Chain A
Amino acid sequence: MNARVSRRHILRTGAAGATLVLGFGLYQMRPASAEASSAGLALFAPNAFIRIDSEDRISLVIDKCEVGQGVYTSLSMLLAEELDVGLDQVAIEPAPPDEQLYADPILHLQATGNSTSVRSSWMELRRAGAAARQMLIAAAAAEWRVDPSRCRTERASVLDNGTQRRLGYGSLAATAAQQPVPQNPRLKQPEQFKLIGKSPLRVDLPGKVDGTAQYGIDVRLPGMLFATVASSPTFGGKLDSLDDSPTRSIKGVHHVVTIRAQEFDVGGYKLHLDDAVAVVAENTWAAQQGLAALEPAWDRGPNQHLGMDDIVHALEAASERGGLVARHEGDVDKALSTAATRLEARNYMPFLAHAAMEPLSCVADVRGDNCEIWTATQVQARAQEIAAQLAGLPPEKVTVHNLFSGGAFGRRLELDGVALAVAISKQVGAPVKLVFTREQDIRHDLYRPFYHDRLRAGLDANGKLLAWHHRIVGSSIFARWAPQAMRSDGLDPDAVDGAIQMPYAFPNLLVEYVREEPPAIPTAFWRGVGDTHNAWVIESFVDEIAAVAKQDPIQFRRGLLSHAPRALAVINLAAEKSRWDKILPPRSGRGIALAYVFDTYLATVVEVTLSDAGLVTLQRVVCAVDCGSIVHPDTAIAQIEGGTLFGLSAALWNEVTLRNGRVEQSNFNDYRTIRIDETPEVEVHLVPSRETPGGLGETGTVAAAPALTNAIFAASGYRVRQLPIIKSIEGLKRRA
């Protein structure tokens, strides 16, 4: 692994970069640059992220997928800050697939996920920008025959302090490319930042308010056909026969395509596609009409009687087994045996769909000896590889155009949409835009796992916590998605994420994982990944222990955080801003949750009111965040605002359930999501810091559910132990 990482590092930013990148060819989103490249004009490309041509065109290559988290802006700011160019002077190029050049330093994979984008890029992109700037200065100094120390830069020009001569970066591109790449370029001090820490208009926003932003679903190609697809309604079912005559009589329908079940392996990543049928037509409407008219006969297969009871019973049975030990300190059993008070809890978290606003979509054009795809993917190189496997081509014959994603929340870490689009295009011999119906999108997602957790704790007679035992039972996502990330004994690090690195000091601690896979149902990452699951369970139980110890939830947490000043600081800030000590009327309550995730500290206070009928109204949300150094504060706030509401929405209403082997939910009518008239005021308070940046895209979601269920406890005395909360409505009704 180390050898691979260091090689990648050299390729991305090191001395060998210039020639390698020059030979690589530009990504084709920006025709002007591509022409410049093909015309052989001088091009300055000192690393994988910066290209400057002689016409002063500056392109920044962004290796992360813009899913709404603002990476096109924040990562550009890191490069532009040190390169000393304005955001108005650059164009963004989405990175092409390349595991060598663009593997994420934390994930060891070309991927956008786990809230790593700024964490991974903070030093690396700044170094890339600073190295390029230093080379441009060296080139100017050589041309002027002056010492480089006499030169400064501003807005893409080098200036001579002595004579006020000025040379634009474009005119220096050719000679700068001849300069050695500095290995340890000098970075700006925070006091010198012109961009970092400010909140310029996000570069992606103008197109997002006037309809011109291009998502994968918006691509139009000459001769392109439109497709939609229906997979086997039961997981693992088979297509027996297909009467497509009613479909073929619909105006505009060109093809009815059958796709047989397939297994893919892309560098360890496993994907299973069930049998599916697709209709390809002149427009999406004709395709959807054609699909509705199809009369496939399905062999419902081995899971045709599968229901939620089967899945939950299997998890409960598995919870009786001892698990793999994820963290063990002290002697939990002994401590529990001496405890004055013992508590136990069982928690249940449902399967969840991603339900991004943009239904899964991909445009594929497979023709002869090459293939092009246009989509939004969080894993560009894997997308290229799976398309290559299906098209029967070497990967380098597959071009991946990565566009804006209309939300993702982990959905586009999967490649079923790409695989299906390529399979359909190959069969019909034309460019095809595949767009899932919302029903296909919900019923054939890959789902956040259903988790069952068991917890035990013991307190002494003074209410002091003596022992903590947490057993996590559920599917392993990494076993399918990145088996190389599994611990050698089968421990899934994601399943225990957040459970083994809590900010609290517990004297005796045991965290275990029992892997139990649901039959046939694919499981996948969902916003906040393992932390979203574990934070709800842990912060609920901490709250419960505080209540048993008859202590205020915040005061009790403070007692466990004396060694963790940053955690303590966000708790205190949230308490102050939420006016925690102010008494609320009956049936109202505040709840707190603390998250230390993705190197960020977050304390969230949710305030709710319960109706007599047991319905929850969100009154107010206050978040206190310490995410270290902040690139774009307004985006930081936006991510916490949105991420928190996203988590509250899921906690209130969302579950994917199975009945007779099929997903019962289908669209936004039965997979409900928060609306503006249900949205409380959300306050986000940022703690000023110069620490290394923490992640923000998923952090708000992690703390949302426990803050909410703790607020419900404060309002009603009812402890929610299963999500979504709507399932507890009987328990939340006002007692006579």
Chain B
Amino acid sequence: MARLQINGATHEVDVPDDMPLLWVLRDVIGLTGTKFGCGIAQCGACTAHVDGKAVRTCVTRLGTVADRVVMTIEGIGATPHGRALQNAWLMIQVPQCGYCQPGQIMSAAALLSEIESPSDAQIDAAMAGNICRCCTYVRIRKAIKLAVSSQATAKRT
């Protein structure tokens, strides 16, 4: 029995320690916002946070995250960065099929918690692990910048 802290709630799951966090979230707990894309940490669709850092949950074993703080797309809107990013994603109308976007937003949220106002190169570097087959990249860049500026405005006022 493993104990997990996910989006502020405690979950106990009785599955093997080597099960990737992705499938614990999706199939065992029922948090399906985190997506399966490749299974080999190539696409980033499964990105969530463990102790505030972006991880690819498809290669993150359950045994390595027990008692650590897990945050998924379902919880990120409760954080200032997450809320600002989700709003910016809507303002810019980023998603098309939308399947990769939870992972994109989680990667962007991890970036903003590390670098308050990232440069273009820092955005590209932080987001290069997240594939979007609809190729919404141009808008992802714009939305991250909008989220940064909206937070800066909010701070000033």
Contact = CB atoms under 8 A, between A and B. Distances in A.
A213 B33 CA distance: 8
A146 interface: no
A220 interface: yes
Interface in B81-140: 86, 89-90, 93-102, 105, 123-125, 127-140
Contacts of A501: none
A717 to B, nearest CB: 29
Interface residues of B, number: 58
Given A206-B90, A285-B19, A676-B141, A212 B133 contact: no
Interface stretch (A196-204, A423-431, A473-481): A196-204
A471 to B, nearest CB: 33
Contacts of A408: 97
A215 B128 CA distance: 24
A357 B27 contact: no
Nearest to A215: B99
B43 A668 contact: yes
Contact of B33 (A210, A283, A644): A210
A667 B43 CA distance: 10
A649 interface: yes
B104 to A, nearest CB: 9
13 contacts: A208-B95, A210-B73, A211-B34, A211-B102, A215-B35, A217-B36, A220-B30, A226-B27, A358-B99, A641-B135, A645-B135, A667-B39, A676-B130
- Majority SS of interface residues in chain A? loop
A435 B27 CA distance: 12
Contacts of A199: 93
Contact of A638 (B45, B100, B136): B136
Given A209-B90, A210-B86, A357-B37, A407 B131 contact: no
B134 A251 contact: no
Given A205-B98, A285-B23, A638 B73 contact: no
B40 interface: yes
Nearest to A67: B97
Contacts of B133: 355-357, 407, 409, 646, 673
Given A646-B133, A676-B128, A679-B138, A359 B93 contact: no
Contact of B101 (A208, A638, A675): A208
Contacts of A649: 135
A634 interface: yes
A681 B138 contact: yes
Contacts of B129: 675
Interface in A328-364: 355-359
Contact of B32 (A70, A220, A356, A668): A220
A613 interface: no
B38 A676 contact: no
A297 interface: no
B68 interface: no
A247 interface: no
A664 interface: no
B42 interface: yes
A263 interface: no
Contact of B36 (A211, A355, A359, A676): A359
Given A642-B135, A679-B138, A68 B37 contact: no
A634 B35 contact: no
Nearest to B124: A677
By DSSP majority rule, is chain B's interface helix, strand, loop, or mixed?
Answer: loop
A536 B114 CA distance: 44
A404 interface: yes
A206 B86 CA distance: 9
A284 interface: yes
B141 A667 contact: no
Nearest to A701: B135
Contacts of B127: 676-677
Given A67-B97, A208-B101, A211-B32, 15 more contacts: A68-B96, A205-B90, A211-B33, A217-B32, A217-B35, A220-B32, A283-B19, A284-B26, A357-B35, A638-B139, A649-B135, A667-B39, A667-B42, A676-B123, A676-B141
A358 B35 contact: yes
Contacts of A70: 96
Given A283-B27, A667-B40, A205 B134 contact: no
B28 interface: yes
Contacts of A359: 36-37
A357 B135 contact: no
A641 B38 CA distance: 24
A283 B135 CA distance: 31
A69 interface: yes
A368 B140 CA distance: 47
Interface centre among B40, B93, B100, B101 (most CB of A within 10 A): B93
B37 A201 contact: no
Given A210-B77, A285-B19, A638 B93 contact: yes
B48 to A, nearest CB: 10
B139 A641 contact: yes
Contacts of B74: 210-212
Nearest to A202: B93
- Most chain A beta carbons < 10 A, residue from B27, B77, B100, B105: B27
B150 to A, nearest CB: 15
A148 B137 CA distance: 51
Contacts of A646: 133-135
A615 B94 CA distance: 29
Contacts of A505: none
Nearest to A673: B131
Nearest to B125: A677
A625 to B, nearest CB: 15
B100 A357 contact: yes
Contacts of A288: 39
Contacts of B27: 226, 282-285
Contact of A357 (B15, B45, B89, B138): B45
B16 interface: yes
B93 A205 contact: yes
Contact of A209 (B43, B95, B130): B95
Interface string A213-238: 11101101000001000000000000
Interface string A40-82: 0000000000000000000000000001111000000000000
Nearest to A436: B36
